[in-house]
C-alpha cells in the first residue's frame, strides 16, 4: 500500500522536483540557516530560506542564475529592500532585507526616490533595463524591514508557487543531524470520542532523543474517531537555530495514512496555514503542531497528502500502533511508535439537574478583588481591565462538533463545591459531559436544532453564595453566507463570504454603551477559530471621527484604526479578539540626532515615537533648504536615517521635518542643522 501511494504521488511531478535546480548559492555570508522553508508565521508560511549573516550587514548578494531584475520594492516593513530576478523558464528568485542595491541599480532607485518624492517604492522593469548574469553582484545584505540582519531567499515558479530552495542548494547546506519530535497530541474528532475519559486534546509526553525509534509505556484509551497533532524541529550539522521539518508521515502498521511534504506551495493559499496547523493549540500556547488528519473543506492540496479510504474512526477495538516519522531534506529521520487502545463506550452524563462540578486543580484567571482595595469588580482573565457589572470574561464559550463547550477559569473555583447553570435562549439546559483540569472546568451542552442565533447565559454559584455570570450571543455563520449582524447596542458586524475555514458559531459579548465610548467593549470569539478575511465593525459612537478602534493584545491596547462613515466608527479587524473605541489626540514625538558643524551629504538620524496609534511612516518627510531628502525608515528601532545627498553648500541649513501618527495627528520640527 505504501509503495503504491508513493508511486501515485510521483506522477506529474515537475522536473525540478525530480532532478533539482542548478542555481548558485546567493551570498558569501554563510551557508548556515536561521529559518527554513514553510515554517510557521502568524499569517502565512515562511516562503524561503533565511541565511545567517552573523548579526552583520554588508555581505555580497549574487544572482542565482542569469535573467533580469524584474521588480524592486523598498518598504519600512515586511521584506524591506528586496529585489526580484526573473530567470529562463519563468523562475523567480527573491532576495530580501537588503542594505542597498549594487551599482547602476542603486543609482536608479535613488533617482526614483527623488522623482516620486517617496521613501517607499514598488517598481517593475523590462528585461532590457537590468539584465544579470549568473553570479553577478546585485546587492548587499542588511536588516531592512522586519527582523535582525539576515538574507531572506526564495525561489518561485511561473505559476506563482514558492519552491523549497533546498532543491537547488541541498549540497551547500550541511545537515547530518536527525530532527527532534517536540510535541505530539491526540485530538477527538467527534462528539462520541474521549481520550482517557476526556473530550479535550490529549498531550503526550515527548522525551527529546536522537534514538531512531522510541515507544512510550502509557497507552491512551480512545472511544471514537481521533486525529494526531505533531510538531518537530531540526538543526543543520553545526547550526544552533531551530528549523522546520521537511516531511512528516503517519502510519498504522505498514499503512501510510498521512504525509506532509514541503516541496512547493501556492502563494495565494498562504492563510490556510491555520488549516494545516492546529490553530486552537497555537492560541492556547501549545506550540504550532501540524494536523495529521483530514480537515473538511480544506482547499490545500500541497503540502498535504493522505489516504482517502481509511481513517482512525474505522479502527477496530483493541491495541493499534501509530508510527510518526519526521525527516529533514537530507533524509535524516526520527520515528516514534505510539500504541493506542480503541474501546468504544458511552460517555454521556446522567440526566440530573443542577450539575455540581468539583474542580480538582488550580484554575487561574477568575478572581474577585477585595473591594477594600478600591477595585470593585472581577479581574478579567486576559488582564484587559475591570468589569464592574458582575459580567466576567472568564467564562469562555466555543463550539465543538455540534455542541457548545464552556470553560470556567478562576483561581478560587477549585476551593469549594460549585453549581453551574446554563440557559440557551432562556431555557435551562443540562450538560451531557463535564470535566476539570489545571486550565479550568469544562462543560459540553447540545446545540438546539434549527437555531441560528442563540443567547447563552452561564452562572456559577459558590457555596459562599457568590454569583459569577456571563452572557454571550452565538450566531451561526456558514462559509457561503455574507451576514450582517445587528447587535443590541446598535453596533453591526459584516461577515464576508468564505471568511472562515468552515461553518461555525461566532460568539459576541458586549458591555457598556457606544454612546459612552470609553465604557464600550466588544468581544468577538472564539479566539481559537481563525478567519480568512477581515470583519467589518461599525460602532455608533458620538463624533466618530474622534475615535479609532483598539484591540487588546494581552498586555496592552493596540491601535487598529478606522474611519468615520455615516455616523459610525468603521474599522476592519482581522478576526476574533477584544475590542474597544479609543482616542488619540497626542501628536508624535520626534528628535534629531546630528553632529555639530553638520555638512551636506552627512547622514543624520531622527528618532520617532508615538504612544497610542503609532507612527504613519508613509507621512515622514524631510526638507532641507526646501529640498526633499530620502530616508531609510526602521519601525523596529523607531528611527529614520536621512540621506541628504542632494543638498548644496550654503551659509545655513534649515530643516523642516514632518510626521503624522495613524490617527492623523502631525508634528513638525523646524530647526537649523
Closest CA to 170 of 334, 29, 328, 60: 328
Q: Matching CATH topology for 355-475 and 589-672? A: yes
Segment 390-409, tens digit of pLDDT: 333 367 888 887 889 988 87
Structurally, at CATH architecture level, domain 589-672 sits in Sandwich (2.60)
Q: H-helix or E-strand containing 156?
A: strand 150-156
Segment 594-645, tens digit of pLDDT: 878 888 889 999 999 999 999 999 999 999 999 999 999 999 999 999 999 9
d(CA 516, CA 528): 30
Q: Where are the domains of the chain?
A: 6-169, 180-342, 355-475, 478-583, 589-672
User: Given pLDDT bands bounded at 50, 70 and 90, which one contains residue 329?
Assistant: very high
Residue 12 backbone zone (phi > 0: left; psi -120 to 50: alpha; other: beta): left
d(CA 134, CA 49): 19
Above 70 in pLDDT, residue 440? yes
d(CA 421, CA 458): 6
d(CA 66, CA 270): 29
- 484-492: long-range pairs with CB below 8 Å, 24+: 487/522, 489/513, 489/514, 489/520, 489/540, 490/514, 490/539, 490/540, 491/522, 491/537, 491/538, 491/539, 491/540, 492/537, 492/538
Q: Which option is the CATH number for 355-475: 3.20.20.140, 2.60.40.290, 2.60.40.10, 3.40.50.10490?
A: 2.60.40.10
Segment 113-148, tens digit of pLDDT: 999 999 999 999 999 999 999 999 999 999 999 999
Above 50 in pLDDT, residue 209? no
CA-to-CA dists, residue 474 to 53, 249, 407, angstroms: 50, 38, 15
d(CA 647, CA 604): 13
User: Given pLDDT bands bounded at 50, 70 and 90, which one contains residue 465?
Assistant: low
Q: Are 121 and 108 in contact (CB under 8 A)?
A: no
Q: Which option is the CATH number for 478-583: 3.40.50.12280, 3.40.710.10, 2.60.220.30, 3.40.50.2300?
A: 2.60.220.30
86 or 308, which is more confident: 86
Q: Mean of the pLDDT values across residues 61-87?
A: 98
Closest CA to 453 of 481, 470, 473: 473
Above 70 in pLDDT, residue 462? no
The residues, any chain, with a CB within 8 Å of residue 185's CB and separated by 6 or more, are 201, 202, 203, 204, 228, 229, 230, 281, 286, 289
Closest CA to 311 of 486, 189, 210: 189
User: Given pLDDT bands bounded at 50, 70 and 90, which one contains residue 204?
Assistant: very high
Q: What does the DSSP assignment read for 187-209?
A: EE-STT--BTTBSS-EEEP----
d(CA 606, CA 639): 6
d(CA 656, CA 115): 19
Q: Which of 31-45, 457-471, 502-516, 526-540 is predicted with the least confidence, judged by mean pLDDT? A: 457-471
CA-to-CA dists, residue 217 to 21, 31, 204, 493, 577, angstroms: 45, 41, 11, 50, 41
* Summary mean pLDDT of the chain: 84
- Fold classification of 180-342 is Coagulation Factor XIII; Chain A, domain 1 (2.70.50)
Q: Give the N- to C-terminal CA distance of the chain in Å, as an integer.
A: 76
448 or 646, which is more confident: 646
Q: Which of 105-109, 210-214, 279-283 is predicted with the least confidence, judged by mean pLDDT? A: 210-214
Sort strands 333-342 and 221-222 into parallel, antiparallel or unpaired: parallel
Segment 139-162, tens digit of pLDDT: 999 999 999 999 999 999 999 999
d(CA 230, CA 249): 10
Please tell me the predicted confidence (pLDDT) of residue 464. 64
Please tell me the predicted confidence (pLDDT) of residue 531. 87
Please tell me the predicted confidence (pLDDT) of residue 49. 98
Please tell me the predicted confidence (pLDDT) of residue 138. 98
Q: Which option is the CATH number for 6-169: 3.90.1010.10, 3.65.10.10, 2.70.70.10, 3.30.70.260?
A: 2.70.70.10
Please tell me the predicted confidence (pLDDT) of residue 410. 64
Q: Are 460 and 413 in contact (CB under 8 A)?
A: yes
Above 60 in pLDDT, residue 580? yes
Please tell me the predicted confidence (pLDDT) of residue 409. 72
Please tell me the predicted confidence (pLDDT) of residue 381. 32
Please tell me the predicted confidence (pLDDT) of residue 16. 59
Please tell me the predicted confidence (pLDDT) of residue 434. 84
Please tell me the predicted confidence (pLDDT) of residue 4. 35
User: Given pLDDT bands bounded at 50, 70 and 90, which one contains residue 240?
Assistant: very high
The predicted model scores a pTM of: 0.87
Q: Mean of the pLDDT values across residues 536-544?
A: 96
Q: Are 166 and 153 in contact (CB under 8 A)?
A: no
Cell numbers for 524: 468577538
Above 60 in pLDDT, residue 263? yes
Please tell me the predicted confidence (pLDDT) of residue 205. 86
Cell numbers for 591: 528628535
Q: Are 74 and 83 in contact (CB under 8 A)?
A: no
- Which of 46-60, 287-301, 374-388, 455-469 reaches the highest mean pLDDT? 46-60
Amino acid at each position: 500500500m505504501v509503495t503504491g501511494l508513493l508511486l501515485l504521488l510521483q506522477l506529474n511531478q515537475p522536473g525540478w522536483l525530480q532532478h533539482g535546480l542548478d542555481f548558485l548559492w546567493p551570498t558569501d555570508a554563510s551557508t548556515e540557516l536561521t529559518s527554513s522553508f514553510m515554517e510557521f508565521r502568524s499569517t502565512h508560511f515562511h516562503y524561503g530560506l533565511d541565511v545567517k549573516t552573523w548579526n552583520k550587514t554588508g555581505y555580497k548578494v549574487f544572482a542565482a542564475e542569469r535573467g533580469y531584475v524584474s521588480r524592486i520594492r523598498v518598504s519600512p516593513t515586511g521584506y524591506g529592500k528586496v529585489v526580484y530576478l526573473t530567470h529562463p523558464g519563468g523562475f523567480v528568485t527573491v532576495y530580501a532585507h537588503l542594505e542597498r542595491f549594487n551599482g547602476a541599480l542603486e543609482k536608479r532607485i535613488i533617482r526614483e526616490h527623488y522623482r516620486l518624492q517617496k521613501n517607499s517604492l514598488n517598481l517593475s522593469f523590462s528585461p532590457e533595463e537590468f539584465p544579470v548574469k549568473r553570479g553577478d553582484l546585485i546587492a548587499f545584505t542588511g536588516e531592512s524591514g522586519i527582523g535582525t540582519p539576515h538574507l531572506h531567499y526564495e525561489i518561485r515558479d511561473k505559476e506563482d508557487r514558492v519552491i523549497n530552495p533546498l532543491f537547488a542548494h541541498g549540497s551547500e547546506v550541511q545537515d547530518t543531524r536527525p530532527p527532534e519530535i517536540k510535541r505530539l497530541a491526540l485530538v477527538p474528532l467527534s462528539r462520541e470520542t474521549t481520550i482517557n475519559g476526556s473530550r479535550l486534546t490529549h498531550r503526550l509526553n515527548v522525551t527529546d532523543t536522537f534514538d531512531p525509534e522510541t515507544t512510550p509505556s502509557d497507552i491512551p484509551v480512545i472511544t471514537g474517531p481521533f486525529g494526531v497533532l505533531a510538531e518537530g524541529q531540526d538543526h543543520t550539522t553545526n547550526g544552533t537555530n531551530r528549523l522546520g521539518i521537511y516531511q512528516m508521515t503517519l502510519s498504522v502498521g505498514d499503512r501510510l495514512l498521512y504525509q506532509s511534504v514541503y516541496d512547493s506551495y501556492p502563494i495565494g493559499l498562504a492563510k490556510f496555514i491555520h488549516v494545516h496547523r492546529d490553530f486552537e493549540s497555537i492560541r492556547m500556547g501549545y506550540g504550532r503542531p501540524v494536523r495529521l488528519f483530514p480537515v473538511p473543506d480544506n482547499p490545500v492540496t500541497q503540502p498535504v497528502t493522505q489516504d482517502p479510504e481509511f481513517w482512525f474512526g474505522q479502527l477496530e477495538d483493541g491495541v493499534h500502533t501509530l508510527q510518526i516519522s519526521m525527516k529533514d531534506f537530507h533524509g535524516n529521520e526520527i520515528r516514534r511508535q505510539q500504541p493506542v487502545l480503541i474501546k468504544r463506550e458511552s460517555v454521556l452524563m446522567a440526566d440530573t439537574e443542577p450539575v455540581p462540578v468539583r474542580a480538582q486543580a488550580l484554575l487561574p484567571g477568575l478572581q474577585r478583588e477585595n473591594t477594600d482595595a478600591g477595585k470593585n469588580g472581577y479581574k478579567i482573565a486576559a488582564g484587559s481591565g475591570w468589569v464592574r457589572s458582575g459580567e466576567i470574561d472568564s467564562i469562555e464559550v466555543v463550539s465543538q462538533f455540534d455542541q457548545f463547550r464552556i470553560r470556567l477559569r478562576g483561581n478560587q473555583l477549585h476551593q469549594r463545591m460549585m453549581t453551574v447553570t446554563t440557559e440557551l435562549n432562556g431555557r435551562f439546559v443540562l450538560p451531557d459531559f463535564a470535566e476539570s483540569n489545571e486550565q479550568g472546568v469544562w462543560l459540553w451542552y447540545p446545540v438546539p436544532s434549527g437555531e441560528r442565533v442563540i443567547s447563552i447565559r452561564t452562572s456559577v454559584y459558590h457555596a459562599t453564595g457568590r454569583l459569577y455570570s456571563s452572557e454571550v450571543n452565538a450566531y451561526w455563520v456558514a462559509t457561503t453566507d455574507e451576514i450582517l449582524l445587528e447587535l443590541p447596542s446598535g453596533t453591526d458586524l459584516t461577515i464576508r463570504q468564505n471568511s472562515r475555514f468552515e461553518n461555525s458559531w461566532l460568539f459576541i459579548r458586549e458591555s457598556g454603551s457606544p454612546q459612552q465610548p470609553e465604557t464600550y467593549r466588544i468581544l468577538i470569539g472564539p479566539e481559537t477559530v481563525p478567519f480568512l478575511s477581515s470583519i467589518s465593525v461599525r460602532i455608533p459612537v458620538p463624533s466618530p471621527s474622534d475615535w479609532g478602534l483598539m484591540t487588546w493584545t494581552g498586555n496592552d491596547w493596540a491601535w487598529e484604526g478606522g474611519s468615520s462613515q455615516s455616523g459610525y466608527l468603521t474599522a476592519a479587524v482581522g478576526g476574533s479578539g477584544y475590542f474597544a473605541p479609543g482616542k488619540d489626540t497626542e501628536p508624535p514625538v520626534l528628535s534629531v540626532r546630528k553632529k555639530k558643524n553638520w555638512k551636506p551629504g552627512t547622514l543624520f538620524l531622527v528618532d520617532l515615537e508615538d504612544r497610542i496609534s503609532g507612527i504613519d511612516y508613509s507621512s515622514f518627510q524631510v526638507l532641507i533648504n526646501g529640498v526633499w531628502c530620502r530616508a531609510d525608515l526602521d519601525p523596529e528601532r523607531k528611527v529614520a536615517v536621512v540621506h541628504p545627498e542632494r543638498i548644496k553648500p550654503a551659509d545655513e541649513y534649515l530643516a523642516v521635518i514632518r510626521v503624522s501618527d495613524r490617527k492623523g495627528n502631525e508634528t513638525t520640527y523646524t530647526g537649523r542643522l
